[in-house]
A and B are shown apart, each in its own frame.
Chain A
Amino acid sequence: MISNQEINQSVAQQEEGFYWVHKTLIVPSSIVEQVRYLASLFGESSSNMWKTGLSENGKYPCSHYIGTGLIGSDFNNMLSSPENLVNGAMQVGIELDINTATYILSQSTISDLNYQEVLQEMNLKICTEEEVI
């Protein structure tokens, strides 16, 4: 109900330093494990991130995974360019080549928009379980 742009406009008004940024992050299933691993190196405790699956018809198997909510400004900065991703990896002692970083970011959707709008644009739906009990 409250847009991500609205939230981000607000946090952008905060002073420099750590702050929270609202993002919608969607990655294809082919690289989701790689992305989870990278995020965990950055202290994002990502074992349960990108656990919500997406597909065109909302049924399994999932073609993409979504994470949406507040992320730290430092993590957000790493996602802003392949160079920043490489540098961020370097700071935690991981050697990430620029081609891999470029590929990961090019395959990922990183948006200020609400997840509903991003899913509409990408023609994706959240995968729901047909039988839950």
Chain B
Amino acid sequence: MTRRNSRYIRRSITNQGVSRFRHPSRLFGAADVGCVYLPGDLTRYFQGGQIVATPSMYQDSAGTTPVTAVGQPVGLRKCLVGKGPDLIQPSATSRPVLSNRVNLLPGSENFASGTWNKATSNGTPVPVVTANYATDPLGGNNGSRVQLTLPGNTEWSLVRISAPLTNIPVGVSVTSSIWIKATDASQVGKFVSLYIYDASTASYASGNRVSKHVLTADWRRVEASFSFDAISTTQEFSFGKARGTVNDGLLNANTATDFLVFGAQFVFSNQAHLPYQRVNTATDYDSDTSKFPLGLSYDGVDDGSYSASTLDMTSTDKVTVLAAVRKLSDVSTSIIVEFNAAGDAAGSASGANPGTFAVFAPLTAGAPRYNWRVRGDGAANAVEVGSFTAPTTNVLSGSGDIPADVTTFRVDGPVRGASTFDLGSGKLGNHTLFIGRRNNASLPFNGLDYGIVVIGRLLTERERKTAENWLARASGVVLP
């Protein structure tokens, strides 16, 4: 494990004065009701306090084919505490997919392949890329040599090596990075630039779309953050160089440049602290769970799951829901968790199903917020908190006490909203639990789920912190 990786884990577990974290299934005593679903461990789950060596997730809803690797759909999830029902998704296209992909480039090392377009303009020669030319900074032989030539005139010209990107949201900070090094001493001091491109401005070399870096004799990881101006079918990450009279400070372009590259990465900036992730294909990438949080990806169109049988919480009038999620969009109303089919956690006193709860991300379309609500047999009490603008990864913790009329919602530790509105009376219900979609039909969640815990009681401060710490570690969140 590299020093950076160990730091990523250590920071997650030593916060709020709590130096330990415990598997959330350890929260459950014999009398506790609820359920635990965690995608981070494919090979075992807890039942009655014991680790059960059996697959915890299956590709099909019948539980025939275990989930063994990233890129596979999840049709069945075991309740890891053995108290709640399995979650299922019988419809193939609606199954969330196991993923811990953070590097959004289609390939990160083979620059000689067709994945990387070698583009030129105004008559510049096509760049020459030689794969496996030199020792890379991680000790392999995957350093690629790149030879670029720009014409020696004052006309605008550009030579670049580009990889396509897909549907990167407008205005969201993204971070490009790559290792670069001069091929030999004669190249030291020349420059190479990182660019992003979309069709809205049709320009590589203006404003904040370009970041210039000077070649050195040793490997340097260069990094730059940008944001796109518009959604376009043409979005690219590229590196190379330009010259001309229209750009900013690149006039003294070196006409010929020879350098080594390795390990390109393009991530949302709030994941830029994660280490480099090798990507070969969409299903062949560095999926080391000690470096990259493992979650279930929901597409925001039709993905979701629901409990194969109802979750009986009629023995309790208190509930705590913990969830670690990465929210990728605020555009539409979305369900993370909802306890009953009819949306009655969100409803008024006239709702047919008392004893319900729900977490929205968001409730109001376009609002960068979360919404937690609980209902006894009265109207639901909602706690709306923000701003948490997508893309964002958060550990959510909502609790509700029906007889005490207390509803509390925490995000990444601190209380962000609380209310003493009358929740009515009665107990929690016996309903189907839905994850990612209301009634398996509407309000689809766009994001990743790193773990969901439902328990029919309020947690002690220490219990809550240790469980939040576990979920923070599982999701890569650094708690304050």
Chain A interface residues (CB < 8 Å from chain B): 1-3, 6-7, 9-11, 13, 20, 23, 25, 44-52, 66-72, 75, 114-117, 120, 126, 128-129, 132-133
Question: Which one of B164, B166, B365, B441 has the highest number of Cβ atoms from chain A below 10 Å of its Cβ?
Answer: B166
B166 touches A3 (CB 8 A): yes
How distant is A94 from chain B, measured CB to nearest CB, in Å? 19
Question: Can you list 19 A-B contacts with CB-CB less than 8 angstroms, sorted by A residue number?
Answer: A1-B168, A1-B328, A2-B101, A3-B164, A6-B282, A7-B283, A20-B59, A49-B93, A49-B302, A67-B91, A67-B94, A69-B302, A75-B92, A116-B166, A116-B231, A117-B233, A120-B233, A129-B333, A129-B442
A44 touches B71 (CB 8 A): no
Which chain B residues border A2 with CB–CB below 8 Å?
A: 101, 104, 106, 166, 282
Which chain B residues border A47 with CB–CB below 8 Å?
A: 90-91
- Nearest CB in chain B to that of A1: its residue: B104
Distance between Cα atoms of A7 and B281 in the complex (Å): 7
- Nearest CB in chain A to that of B61: its residue: A45
A45 touches B91 (CB 8 A): yes
B95 touches A133 (CB 8 A): no
Number of residue pairs A-B, CB distance < 8 angstroms: 123
B61 touches A68 (CB 8 A): no
Instruction: Check if B167 is an interface residue, CB within 8 A of chain A.
Output: yes
Which chain B residues border A72 with CB–CB below 8 Å?
A: 92
Which chain A residues border B106 with CB–CB below 8 Å?
A: 2-3, 6
Which chain A residues border B167 with CB–CB below 8 Å?
A: 1, 114, 116-117
Instruction: Check if B346 is an interface residue, CB within 8 A of chain A.
Output: yes
Distance between Cα atoms of A75 and B281 in the complex (Å): 23
Question: Which one of B101, B301, B440 has the highest number of Cβ atoms from chain A below 10 Å of its Cβ?
Answer: B301
B72 touches A20 (CB 8 A): yes
If A20-B72, A133-B363 touch, does A48 touch B440 (CB 8 Å cutoff)?
yes
Distance between Cα atoms of A13 and B283 in the complex (Å): 11
Which chain B residues border A115 with CB–CB below 8 Å?
A: 299, 301
B92 touches A13 (CB 8 A): no
Which chain A residues border B231 with CB–CB below 8 Å?
A: 116
Which chain A residues border B159 with CB–CB below 8 Å?
A: none
B93 touches A132 (CB 8 A): no
Q: A20-B59, A117-B233 are in contact. List 20 more A-B contacts (CB 8 A).
A: A1-B104, A1-B165, A3-B164, A3-B282, A7-B283, A11-B283, A13-B281, A20-B71, A49-B94, A51-B440, A52-B301, A67-B301, A69-B73, A69-B301, A70-B73, A70-B92, A71-B92, A115-B299, A129-B442, A129-B443
Interface mask (B292-309 → A, CB under 8 Å = 1, otherwise 0) = 000000010111000000
A9 touches B93 (CB 8 A): no
How distant is A47 from chain B, measured CB to nearest CB, in Å? 7
Interface mask (B426-443 → A, CB under 8 Å = 1, otherwise 0) = 000000000000001111
A132 touches B303 (CB 8 A): no
A70 touches B301 (CB 8 A): no
Instruction: Check if B355 is an interface residue, CB within 8 A of chain A.
Output: no
Which chain B residues border A20 with CB–CB below 8 Å?
A: 59, 71-73
Question: Which one of A2, A11, A47 has the highest number of Cβ atoms from chain B below 10 Å of its Cβ?
Answer: A2
Instruction: Check if B97 is an interface residue, CB within 8 A of chain A.
Output: yes
- Nearest CB in chain B to that of A69: its residue: B93
A48 touches B92 (CB 8 A): no
Q: Which of B93, B303, B347 contacts A25 (CB 8 A)?
A: B93
A66 touches B302 (CB 8 A): yes
- Nearest CB in chain A to that of B280: its residue: A10
Distance between Cα atoms of A10 and B283 in the complex (Å): 6
